Structure 1
Amino acid sequence: MKRVFICSPYSGDVKHNVQAAQGYCLEALIEGCAPFASHLLYPQMLNDANPVEREWGIQAGLEFLLTCSEVWVYGQPTEGMKREIAFAEAAGIPVIERQP
């Protein structure tokens, strides 16, 4: 099963963005992939408004990104998403733009 990193907005309209990311993960599962969306996991235990905790979450997410076959990008990239995209490109992991 192909592992895909789901890269989509979190900040802003958090409730909407979380629901959208859940839908993107479901879409990946339907396509036979194993999705990982760090922004659905780490904000449950870390405070995204705390810069230190936010960085912990980002770094942990990047570690998981290294195990993925592709990065699927949804929507207009935020600053956090841009970091994930640049990291994936530097690691040679394909970045695929998907329609929200």
Structure 2
Amino acid sequence: MAIFARWFYSGDTEANVELARQFCGFALGAGKIPFAPHLLFPQFMGGVDPDQRELAMFLNRVLLAKCKALWAYVGHVSPGMRLEIGWARDLQAPVKYFDSDFKEVTP
């Protein structure tokens, strides 16, 4: 089952990218196929450019529609994450929340 793995990206991006990689590894170990566009898109899209940010969010919505669930880190929920969680709910996709120890939590 493919899941949309969502972790906070901005701020200390180096540390957040490492945690997102670990989170994806955790999901893989749980038998899921993690997809984390916030790890992919910054490789070739600028997050500061409003047009590229809008395009990235559009692509996130398209890709989320292909996933069976959204897994989100709750240490810091950004506005973009809130939007994606809302999209998952609109799609009636399960949303699971995890802390930094990858323990499922209730928001």
Structure 1 and Structure 2 fold alike (TM over 0.5): yes
User: How many residue pairs were aligned?
Assistant: 99
Structure with greater helix percent = 1
Q: Partners in 1 of 2:30 and 2:94 — Cα distance?
A: 17
Question: How does 1:1-100 map onto structure 2 within 5 Å?
Answer: 2-74=1-73, 75-100=75-100
Q: Aligned to 2:28, what secondary structure does the other structure show?
A: helix
Runs of 4+ in 1 over 4 A off after TM superposition: none
RMSD: 0.8
| Partner AA of 1:34 in structure 2 | I
- Unaligned ranges ≥5, structure 1: none
| Partner AA of 1:41 in structure 2 | L
Question: What's the CA shift string for 1:61-83, capped at 9, x where partnerless?
Answer: 11111111110010221011011
Q: Partners in 1 of 2:87 and 2:77 — Cα distance?
A: 14
Q: Aligned to 1:76, what secondary structure does the other structure show?
A: coil
| Partner AA of 2:22 in structure 1 | G
Q: By how many angstroms is 1:36 displaced?
A: 0.3
Greater RCO structure (CA 8 Å; 6+ sep): 1
In structure 1, the partner of 2:105 is none
Q: Aligned to 1:52, what secondary structure does the other structure show?
A: helix
Identical residues among aligned pairs (%):
35
Q: Partners in 2 of 1:59 and 1:22 — Cα distance?
A: 23
Q: Partners in 2 of 1:72 and 1:80 — Cα distance?
A: 14
Q: By how many angstroms is 1:86 displaced?
A: 0.6
